[in-house]
């Protein structure tokens, strides 16, 4: 059985067996859950379908969250992608659109896959669905990449946290970016070590990110952090695929993220009392949202 506390050891095992991280996790999970690999693949296929559906639902000019704070931004990005004028290019603008769409679907109470959480649900689909569409990656490969991402997420959950309330947004969006970066590397045919380097680089670049949702709602700044999170994942994956290594091993990066999260003051851990949530505009929006709720 795998030790989901040690990603470096997992990569070593995958290397010794000449398999991907995803394949290593799949075989182990089938054994641990006393099921077949086929059954797990079927489950992950359904998760991928939900991701596709939420990306489609969220990319709408008219979608709005219950608070009225957010909605329609994925559509604006989609229109920009269609015009072919984006600064960051076709692949990235599509990844941003998808990440925004899934996160906006979540804010509008639509069905999403928490990957690893609802607040960070756009990052992994932004990476995986865009690879499928733009790089013609097969569905089976995408499903294996989701399993690889799941393995990374399990280790982060065991060694640190995936919760904004416990570890700040670095634990949610940072972890999602790490998972997406590893998934991108696997989909591109990189080695297990490259996947870990990508995960480490993605997580390092969100180290210290606070959790500060306006009015306590998973909308602002969460939705746009999903867009930025997928871009960090893409950058980290391409760096790793180029042979750039993380100087600090991924397991140590995760431990550092845990320590930073524990050092964060309460106001910056999903209490909506600090950061963006404490700005004058955020306070005014909060007052209006709760006033509207009371008058209903």
Binding site for ligand SF4 (CB under 6 A): 119-120, 164, 169, 172-173, 211-213, 218, 222, 225, 270
Question: Toward ligand SF4, which CB reaches closer, 141 or 271?
Answer: 271
Question: Toward ligand SF4, which CB reaches closer, 173 or 237?
Answer: 173
Question: Toward ligand SF4, which CB reaches closer, 151 or 164?
Answer: 164
Distance of CA 285 to the CA centre of its chain: 27
Distance CA 271, CA 165 (A): 7
- What minimum distance in Å lies between the beta carbon of 72 and ligand SF4? 19
What does the block give as tokens for 39?
């059954």
- What minimum distance in Å lies between the beta carbon of 51 and ligand SF4? 17
Distance CA 43, CA 235 (A): 29
- What minimum distance in Å lies between the beta carbon of 70 and ligand SF4? 12
- What minimum distance in Å lies between the beta carbon of 110 and ligand SF4? 16
Do residues 165 and 210 lie in contact, with contact meaning Cβ atoms separated by under 8 Å?
no
Question: Toward ligand SF4, which CB reaches closer, 13 or 114?
Answer: 114
Do residues 188 and 159 lie in contact, with contact meaning Cβ atoms separated by under 8 Å?
no
Question: Toward ligand SF4, which CB reaches closer, 187 or 218?
Answer: 218
- What minimum distance in Å lies between the beta carbon of 174 and ligand SF4? 9
What does the block give as tokens for 142?
């995408």
Listed in sequence order, the residues at least 6 apart from 291 whose beta carbon sits closer than 8 Å to its beta carbon are none
Do residues 233 and 115 lie in contact, with contact meaning Cβ atoms separated by under 8 Å?
no
- What minimum distance in Å lies between the beta carbon of 105 and ligand SF4? 14
Tell me the sheet residues that pair with 269: 211
What does the block give as tokens for 273?
């009392």
- What minimum distance in Å lies between the beta carbon of 175 and ligand SF4? 10
Distance CA 126, CA 108 (A): 18
- What minimum distance in Å lies between the beta carbon of 166 and ligand SF4? 10
Listed in sequence order, the residues at least 6 apart from 46 whose beta carbon sits closer than 8 Å to its beta carbon are none
Question: Toward ligand SF4, which CB reaches closer, 133 or 224?
Answer: 224
Q: 287 to each of 216, 218, 274, 280, 292, how far by Cα in Å? A: 12, 16, 16, 11, 9
Question: Toward ligand SF4, which CB reaches closer, 197 or 212?
Answer: 212
Q: 100 to each of 20, 58, 121, how far by Cα in Å? A: 29, 8, 9
Question: Toward ligand SF4, which CB reaches closer, 3 or 262?
Answer: 262
Distance CA 174, CA 199 (A): 9
């Amino acid at each position: 059985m795998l030790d989901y506390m040690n990603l470096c050891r997992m990569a070593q095992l995958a290397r010794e067996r000449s398999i991907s991280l995803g394949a290593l996790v799949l075989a182990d999970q089938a054994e641990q859950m006393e099921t077949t690999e086929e059954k797990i693949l079927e489950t992950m296929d359904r998760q991928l379908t939900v991701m596709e559906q939420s990306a489609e639902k969220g990319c709408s000019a008219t979608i709005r969250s219950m608070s009225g704070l957010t909605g329609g931004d994925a559509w604006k990005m989609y229109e920009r992608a269609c015009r072919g004028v984006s600064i960051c290019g076709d692949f990235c603008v599509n990844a941003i659109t998808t990440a925004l769409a899934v996160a906006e679907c979540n804010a509008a109470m639509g069905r999403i896959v928490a990957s690893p959480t609802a607040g960070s649900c756009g990052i992994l689909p932004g990476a995986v669905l865009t690879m499928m569409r733009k790089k013609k990656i097969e569905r089976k490969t995408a499903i294996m990449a989701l399993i690889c991402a799941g393995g990374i997420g399990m280790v982060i959950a065991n060694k640190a946290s995936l919760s904004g309330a416990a570890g700040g947004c670095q634990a949610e969006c940072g972890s999602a970016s790490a998972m997406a970066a590893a998934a991108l590397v696997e989909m591109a045919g990189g080695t297990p070590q490259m996947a870990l380097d990508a995960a480490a680089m993605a997580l390092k670049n969100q180290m210290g990110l606070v959790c500060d949702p306006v009015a306590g709602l998973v909308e602002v700044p969460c939705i746009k952090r999903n867009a930025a999170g997928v871009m960090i994942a893409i950058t980290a994956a391409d760096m790793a695929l180029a042979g750039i290594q993380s100087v600090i091993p991924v397991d140590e990066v995760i431990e550092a993220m845990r320590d930073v999260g524990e050092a964060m003051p309460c106001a910056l851990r999903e209490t909506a009392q600090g950061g963006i949530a404490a700005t004058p505009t955020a306070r005014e929006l909060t007052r209006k949202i709760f006033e509207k709720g009371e008058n209903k």
